[in-house]
Amino acid sequence: MTENITRHVDIRRILYALAIIAIVLGIFGFASRLIVGERDVNYGSYVNWGLWVAMYLFFAGLAAGSFMVASLDYLFKVDLFKGTGRYALWATIVTLPAALVLIGLDLGHWDRIWKVYLQPNVSSLLAQLVWSYTIFWVVAMIALVLAIRKSDLWLRVVMVIGLVLSLFVSGGVGALLGVNAGQTSFHTAMLPAQFPLLNLASGVAIMTVIVGFFSVVEPERRTRLLRVLGLSLVVLLTVKAYFLWVDYSQVLYSSVPDAVAVADTILFGQYSWAFWGLQVLLGLIVPWVLFIWPGTAQRPILAGVAGILVLVGLAVGRTAIIFPQLSVPDLEGLAEAFTHVRLTFEYTPSLVEWSVLIGVLGLSALAYLIGVDRLPLFKSRSEAAA
């Protein structure tokens, strides 16, 4: 038992060190963005969404998915998930600000943020999402306070509200992209339907990582919980594979030129290595095989690694939604009409963009670790955890 606790303490120290290193690496990107604006980013007039927008989708989805998982403990009272809700709820609280920081850095005119609150266009999906994210985070904070105070009845009421909001913001992001009639690969009814399931997959994956690497439940329940989480991810990854098949087979069969050009960019062009290597092989096939094997649940570290691979695949999947569509010219010959560093369809994230993302990851990880170590909600745990 002592060796087990010591191992978890060592892992936590390593994570603290990695988080601090990530924050230091992120200082360069934050300083550049705040001092010289978007001068050193690689998106421009044609590719006007980049890494930060894609990772905003990922972190926002992770927040919503984590809340869904927390509801299994705090709302539905599933015995197997007892004690895990606090870890999922805290993940929601630290990842949603990460998403909003990334999308905020991508945007300009920060001085106008008050307008969406005081002068909103209520029919705008974007305004609805801003309000929904704000309320969702406030609801998550209220749930945290109620969980600390052990106000079970009110906590369940708040969790119902939060669960509805988590589903709304999940589908809302897909709808925000899907209503873009001018962007062929975005303009599909499938997109809003995919996001809630993909977000749930991210929530289950992060819980698998937490349970796999740390003693958040007693050992005799840990194997059963990892088995259930793993099989849940098998189902969700299978659904994700089906979505991919539907998306690309429909596009290729339809032979709509603009849509086919985007699909070709993903499947065979500039981003094919990320699609086949990271999203499909490492992010889908490898964890699917690992989770279908019963022995993985008996090897918590292996289950945790498989969960990380799922998260990587989901993150890359968000880039596959954003980058390729914007890398295809709307008009033939547009790429050759003008020459400028901001007028290109070849997009690769710059050092500044990567630096900011690494810094945000570090800040989120550090906030999560400090919360687990300091918040009263976690004081009752029997072993050191992260």
Q: Which long-range contacts (CB under 8 A, 24 or more apart) does 241-249 make?
A: 241/284, 243/190, 243/194, 243/197, 244/280, 246/190, 247/188, 247/190
Question: Around Cβ 39, how many Cβ atoms within 10 Å?
Answer: 9
Per-residue pLDDT of the chain (386 residues; tens, 9 = 90+): 444 544 555 788 899 999 999 999 999 999 999 999 988 998 876 778 899 999 999 999 999 999 999 999 999 999 999 999 999 999 999 999 999 999 999 988 888 888 999 999 988 888 999 999 999 999 999 999 999 999 999 999 999 999 999 999 999 888 888 777 667 667 676 788 899 999 999 999 999 999 999 889 998 899 999 999 999 999 999 999 999 999 899 888 888 888 888 889 999 998 999 999 999 999 999 999 999 999 999 999 999 999 999 999 999 999 998 888 777 766 666 666 666 666 677 788 999 999 999 999 999 999 999 999 999 998 754 433 33
Going along the chain from its start, the domains and CATH numbers come out as 18-378 (1.20.1630.10)
For position 297, what pLDDT does the model report?
Answer: 94
Structure tokens given for 324: 């390729």
Do residues 323 and 329 touch, judged by C-beta distance below 8 A? Answer: no
Return the half-sphere exposure (C-beta side, CA atoms, 13 A cut-off) of residue 214: 23
Do residues 181 and 61 touch, judged by C-beta distance below 8 A? Answer: no
Structure tokens given for 301: 């570290």
Cα–Cα distance for residue pair 79/247, rounded to 1 Å: 37
